[in-house]
A and B are shown apart, each in its own frame.
Chain A
């Protein structure tokens, strides 16, 4: 079964850091682009970042550029999102999603990040 499972969310003060993980199973992880997408409470979906299969090419939304870093460990079938200098407006459910010929075709269940003082 194809599955994405996010973890690492939690509560943090403004200016703090968190690292999210997305553990993958059921497909050849090293062959796919991967994305992070977030959704603030009661709001819409917002694309955050993407990473190519070998980890050499990254793209970011302007709102997180310079603060967030996407990476992957293909040996561990895991995608990461290192989030630094967190702001209240980064509060959201963070989803990882698979890219490919059918983009965003598989999503995880999400992990909740709350940034509050």
Chain B
């Protein structure tokens, strides 16, 4: 149950687009259409922003989009805004009916 690999940090200027990768194996990301993404502001609980690779929960901005290729899932934030500055975590269903989260990515808006 090793954590999925994410870049430690990603930054961008307001209005730009950034992409966060989440790399796993064929036993997690590559094996299921589950990949989810969470946004977490300091001191707050995580919030679901993407599930089943590409779906957005009601109320989540369409500036957030997800994709997957092989063992890597990706989150793209378009039109970056100051409020997007937060930590982002990916998550996948994994073998033995467990789940695994990513190492987390700190997004900085320059």
Binding site for B on A (CB under 8 A): 35, 37, 44-47, 50, 59-63, 95, 102-105, 107-110
Contact = CB atoms under 8 A, between A and B. Distances in A.
Interface residues of B, number: 24
Contacts of A59: 96-98
Contact of A103 (B1, B40, B51, B96): B51
A47 B98 contact: yes
A104 B45 CA distance: 11
Contact of A62 (B1, B89, B103, B104): B1
Contact of B101 (A45, A50, A107): A45
Interface in B73-109: 89, 91, 96-104
A61 B3 CA distance: 12
A54 to B, nearest CB: 16
B36 interface: yes
A44 B7 CA distance: 13
A45 B88 CA distance: 10
Given A47-B99, A104-B38, A108-B45, 15 more contacts: A37-B46, A37-B101, A44-B101, A45-B40, A47-B98, A47-B100, A60-B98, A61-B1, A102-B48, A102-B57, A104-B46, A104-B91, A105-B48, A105-B57, A109-B45
